[in-house]
Structures are given as structure tokens and as C-alpha cells.
Amino acid sequence: MKLQAVELVRVRMPLVRPFRTSFGVQEGRHVLLVRVITDVAEGWGECVSGDVPSYNEEWADGSEQVVRRWLAPALFALPSLDSARVLPSLGHIRGHRMAKAALESAVLDAELRAAGLPMAAFLGGVRDRVEAGVSVGITGTVGELLDVVAGYLDEGYRRIKLKIEPGWDVEPLRAVRERFGDGLALQVDANTAYQRADLPHLLRLDEFGLLLVEQPFEPRDLAAHAELARRGSTPVCLDESIESAADAATAITAGACDIVNIKAGRVGGFLEARRVHDVCQAHGVPVWCGGMLETGVGRAGNVALASLPGFTLPGDISASRRYYETDVTEPFAVVDGHLRVLAGPGLGVTVRDGLLAELGAVRDTLRAV
Ligand code: OSB
Ligand code: MG
């Protein structure tokens, strides 16, 4: 396959409701989509970096620049291209995994479209639908939180994840358990908001029978996560700490995680995400598919990834309308508590050019010089 052009598409997507986490409030996303044009087919990828470098070091404007200046030129320079070669060919550029993942997704999508093979089948998926879970932001009041959770349960979500931070943990959890009962599949995500000194406080979460507590401490502090895992009964899950399959092996060996949240963007693409899955499976560690408020482009890949056998817990995989009034692809819906794995070639979605235009998307095509 020969790479002919890389198109960068920037579009501002307002969220249907603000999303508050321990690192801030988000009203929308300045999405970066990448389209590759090759001699055999075209393909799409979504860069999941946020507007602000707070989840990790990447941010969407920076991702766009690194694709323009370094990543796309490196791929144009290759005599021939295939998806397995994308990440290794970009090894001389440190980090920027989300930008690399977007390019890899686009190349893989093009390759699979040309071959007529769906992404899920290529990755080794074993399910034709995946359980829908939803990540619920921090709200102004506990009453508001209960209303939001009730709304999602009415829509059929199978599992609720609450964002927590110091001052917003025990009280909302108690209220949610009281209102919805012990049968509700419930977990929490702190996005690194706690300090090691908070460990005794975090042990109080054990009384709520949670599926897991996600990333309470700094990404590099595996020891703190290991101590929590040892002393508490709630399974510890890592998100921000895991940037590769090697990281997953290290964290598991250190006793720092019982469960891993896999996000293709965070680890450099769907191929590395599958390697993380494989490492976890070999260690008997369950995984689930995280989300980064993706549009339909990224969501299609997430659903395909979540169809792999080791994804035994419901992911942060929600309907398009949980995020956006109108999606850039055909919208994903929750049916009977699940999202359907797409059966078309590649990602299986069609990007709606007319809608991108309506949303005021800015598009720019890069070519080999
Ligand atoms: O930590 O999982 C996270 C969104 C943006 C950045 C980080 C996270 C999240 C979510 C939302 O929790 C998951 C989703 O896409 O629904
Ligand atoms: Mg998380």
C-alpha cells in the first residue's frame, strides 16, 4: 500500500451536557480526525487527545502539529505502508501515542476496507454486540447526580461509572447505593486525584461493593496502587498508568492492578491495545474498553476492540447521543443494554461530509513533498 495523502479534519463538537472530572469541566471537544488516502482505499482515524493536556501530556492542537511536522512526513517517506509498520516507523518520535494511534487507525481502516474485512474480525473479536456502560461526571449536587444516573438506567445502561475526587466520593456513592440498590454494577474513576496520604480514606470505598476503583493515584506511582490493592477489597484498575503492553506487564507484576482499562489512543493504537489485552489475558487480568468521548469514528474502533474475549467487563461505551446531538457518522445506539459491533469492512462507518461542513469543520490535505 502506498500513502498518497493525509487529510486533517478539525471540528468543534459541543457535548450534550458538560462533563466534569477531577481535572476539569469539558463543554465540548475540538476533535481531530485523520483521513488517509492510499492507492487501494481510504481510511479514517480519530485522535482522542483532549483540548487541554490534563489527562495526559497530549492535546489536540499539539497532536495536529506533530502529525503535520513529523508523523505524516515519516509515513510518506516509506516505500510501502501497512498498519503493522505505522507505530514502529514512528519510533524516532517520542510519545504522542494518541496522534500515532489516529494515523494507525486510518491506515488499518484503509487496509481492511481494501480487504473487505471488518475491524472486529481482524482484531479477533468473538461477540457481535458489547455491553454498554456510561461514565457519569461530577455534578453540582447529589440530587442532580441521582437524576442523571436514573436517566441512564432508563436508557438501558448496564453499568455506571462515577467520576470521583476528594470531597465527592463517599457521599454520592452512599446516595447512589441507597437509591438504586446493591445490584447496580457500579465503579468509580478518580483520574489521579488522590494522594498516598488518602489511602485510609480510599479504604472506606470498600463498603460500597464496587466493581473497581480506577486510577486513584499519579500515573507513575505503581507502589501506591499496589498498597491500595493489598490493603483494600475493591479491585484496583489502571488507566493513565498504562501506555503499552510492557507497562501492563510491569504493573501486573508489581501487584498494582487487578483490572486494566484499555484505550487504543493511550497506548498508540489498536494493535498495541490488542497486545495489552493479550498480556492481561495471559495473567488472568480482566480488561474493559475505556473511552475518550469519541465521535463515531473512534467509537467504531472501540466497539470492535471490546468484542475481544478478554473484555469481560462493560466498557465506557455509550450511545452517540450520550455525548453529541449529531454524530459525524451514523449514530451508535444502545439496544437492550448493548452496542452492535459493526459488520462492514474496516471501521464500518461512513463519515458524513455534509455534516462536517455544517459543523464548520476545517480540512487540510497533506501530501508527500
Ligand atoms: O478517565 O476514562 C477516563 C473521558 C475523557 C478523559 C478520560 C476519561 C474519560 C471518561 C469518559 O471517563 C469515557 C467515555 O468516553 O464515555
Ligand atoms: Mg479513566
pLDDT band at 233 (very low <50, low <70, confident <90, very high): very high
pTM given for the model: 0.98
Phi and psi (nearest 5°) for 107?
Answer: -65, -45
Question: Catalytic: 161?
Answer: no
pLDDT above 70 as % of the chain: 100
CA of 240 to the centre of ligand 2 (A): 7
Mean pLDDT of 13-39: 97
- Which ligand approaches the C-alpha of residue 292 most closely? 1
Mean pLDDT of 212-230: 98
Mean pLDDT of 213-233: 98
CA of 227 to the centre of ligand 2 (A): 19
pLDDT band at 33 (very low <50, low <70, confident <90, very high): very high
Task: Give the residue, out of 46, 261, 292, with the most ligand 1 atoms within 8 A of its beta carbon, to mutate for a pocket test.
Answer: 292
pLDDT at position 28, please? 97
Q: Which of these, 287, 336, 295, lies nearest to 314 by C-alpha position?
A: 287
- Alpha-carbon gap, residue 98 to 135, rounded angstroms: 21
pLDDT at position 2, please? 95
β partners of residue 9: 33, 363
pLDDT at position 231, please? 98
User: Which residue's CA is minimally distant from atom 1 of ligand 1?
Assistant: 191
pLDDT at 30 over 90: yes
CA of 50 to the centre of ligand 1 (A): 10
Atom of ligand 1 nearest to the CA of 323: 16
Mean pLDDT of 33-42: 97
pLDDT at position 369, please? 77
Q: Which of these, 217, 274, 285, lies nearest to 250 by C-alpha position?
A: 285
pLDDT at position 228, please? 98
pLDDT at position 60, please? 98
Strands (E), 112-206: 129-131, 133-136, 159-163, 186-189
CA of 22 to the centre of ligand 2 (A): 10
What does the mean pLDDT of the chain come to?
Answer: 98
Q: What is the pLDDT of residues 255-279, one digit of tens each?
A: 999 999 999 999 999 999 999 999 9
pLDDT at position 368, please? 86
pLDDT at position 281, please? 98
pLDDT at position 184, please? 98
Helix (H, G, I), strand (E, B) or coil at 310: coil
Atom of ligand 1 nearest to the CA of 240: 1
pLDDT above 90 as % of the chain: 99
Q: Which strand (E) or helix (H) includes residue 45?
A: strand 42-47
| Cα–Cα distances in angstroms (integers) from residue 78 to residues 68, 90, 110, 269, in the given order | 16, 11, 16, 19
Question: Catalytic: 100?
Answer: no
Q: Which of these, 103, 85, 117, lies nearest to 43 by C-alpha position?
A: 103
Task: Give the residue, out of 17, 20, 29, 293, with the most ligand 1 atoms within 8 A of its beta carbon, to mutate for a pocket test.
Answer: 293
| Cα–Cα distances in angstroms (integers) from residue 213 to residues 28, 48, 133, 169, 268, in the given order | 26, 23, 15, 11, 24
| Residues in contact with ligand 1 (CB, 6 Å cut-off) | 55, 135, 189, 191, 239, 290-293, 316, 318
